[in-house]
Amino acid sequence: MPSFVRDEHLEIGKAALAAAGLRAAHLLRAAVDVVLPPQALDGGRKAGPVQSRGLTAEAWGKIAFIEAPVCDGCGAPQAYDVGEARCAACLARRRAFDRARAAVTYDDASRDLILKLKRADRTDLAGLFALWLARSAHDLIEDADAVVPVPLHPLRLLTRRFNQAAEIARPLARRAGLAYLPGALARRRHTPIQGGRSGSGRRRNVAAAFEAPRAMWPRIAGRRILLVDDVITTGATAEGCARALKAAGAARVDVAAVARVQERDAGTI
């Protein structure tokens, strides 16, 4: 048999095996779903077509996704699309990070999901949040070389047992094919929580709280970093992290957060 004919038969055989494996996986998933009906990530039983992840239709309807146009600097929603323009707040005060995007507005619906991740060990929600960021921060992801989570202080990490920002950043980096650098930042000072503080108070609270370990500088220098967090309020934490990364040689630092607090609510969380 000629070699080209043999190669063609091999390719056909591989494709057939792959298709058969995919069908078998779908059949297995369907069988498991019959025995153990899937639950939505918000805790409700899903209606309609069976899916293995996501929210109920009721929960989806309550999430306020942030759509374009947004400020190219802080990611705040804007009334009109004027291209890569920045809002008055960004023009009035230059931020340490370059750009920011958030997937949803921080309100009762999104707060409940985020707190389930942070305080109820619902790490299964992290993958969903990563998908939201892949959509809302797609332009930042395209320009990034590496993904870095906002770090927790070791004492807080000990009590919480995991870093919620890292749980979101890891699948996001894997999905985008980017380097994941969880050790690029360290929180060297155990700061009080930011809730209830003004913008200036938040900046003072996290002043000099972050550093990039010198051993990580070669992996940071010259790279475009995407910093990931769960919530962005005034941007004080993101700015503290951005300063530390740029001191280590980062070419730029963009920020992707799951939720964004509206300015009028910034002093209440």
Tens-digit pLDDT profile for residues 69-126: 999 999 999 988 878 889 999 999 889 999 999 999 999 999 999 999 998 899 999 9
Read off the pLDDT band of 267 (50, 70, 90): very low
User: Residue 106 in contact with residue 266, Cβ under 8 Å?
Assistant: no
Read off the pLDDT band of 16 (50, 70, 90): low
Most confident of 17-21, 47-51, 129-133: 129-133
Tens-digit pLDDT profile for residues 191-245: 655 455 445 554 555 557 899 999 999 999 999 999 999 999 989 999 999 999 9
CA–CA separation, 30 and 178 (whole Å): 33
Domain-embedded: residue 254: yes
Residue range(s) defining the domain that contains residue 95: 70-265
User: Residue 240 in contact with residue 206, Cβ under 8 Å?
Assistant: yes
Task: Report the pLDDT value the prediction gives residue 35, as an integer from 0 to 100.
Answer: 45
User: Residue 243 in contact with residue 95, Cβ under 8 Å?
Assistant: no
Residue 36 has pLDDT above 80, yes or no: no
Residues 170-193, mean pLDDT to the nearest whole number:
89
Q: Which residues of 139-167 are buried (b: 16+ CB within 10 A; e: fewer)?
A: ebbeebbbbbbbbbeeeeeeeeeebbbbb
Lowest mean pLDDT among 44-53, 116-125, 163-172: 44-53
Domain count, the chain: 1
User: What angle separates helix 108-119 from helix 164-176, to the nearest 10 degrees?
Assistant: 100
Domain-embedded: residue 52: no
Domain-embedded: residue 139: yes
Lowest mean pLDDT among 48-57, 58-67, 121-130, 229-238: 48-57
CA–CA separation, 216 and 245 (whole Å): 10
Domain-embedded: residue 174: yes
Domain-embedded: residue 40: no
Residues 33-42, mean pLDDT to the nearest whole number:
54
User: What is the residue-wise DSSP string for 9-24?
Assistant: HHHHHHHHHHHHHHHH
Task: Report the pLDDT value the prediction gives residue 80, as an integer from 0 to 100.
Answer: 86
User: Residue 144 in contact with residue 108, Cβ under 8 Å?
Assistant: no
Domain-embedded: residue 172: yes
Q: Nearest Cα to 93, choosing from 66, 68, 70, 74?
A: 74
Tens-digit pLDDT profile for residues 117-127: 998 899 999 99
Domain-embedded: residue 133: yes
Please name the amino acid found at residue 51.
Q
Question: Which residues neighbour 20 within 8 Å (Cβ) at sequence distance 6 or greater?
Answer: none
Distance of CA 137 to CAs 131, 259, 268, 269, Å? 10, 12, 26, 24
Domain-embedded: residue 78: yes
CA–CA separation, 236 and 216 (whole Å): 23
Tens-digit pLDDT profile for residues 129-166: 999 999 999 999 999 999 999 999 888 888 889 999 99
Q: Nearest Cα to 204, choosing from 240, 243, 242, 154?
A: 240
Average pLDDT along the chain: 82
pLDDT: which is higher, 219 or 28: 219
CA–CA separation, 171 and 164 (whole Å): 12
Cβ atoms within 10 Å, residue 175: 15
What CATH code is carried by the domain that includes residue 82?
3.40.50
pLDDT: which is higher, 113 or 30: 113
CA–CA separation, 146 and 140 (whole Å): 11
Q: Check residue 36 and report its DSSP letter.
A: S
Residues 176-187, mean pLDDT to the nearest whole number:
97
Task: Report the pLDDT value the prediction gives residue 57, as an integer from 0 to 100.
Answer: 82
Task: Report the pLDDT value the prediction gives residue 141, as an integer from 0 to 100.
Answer: 98
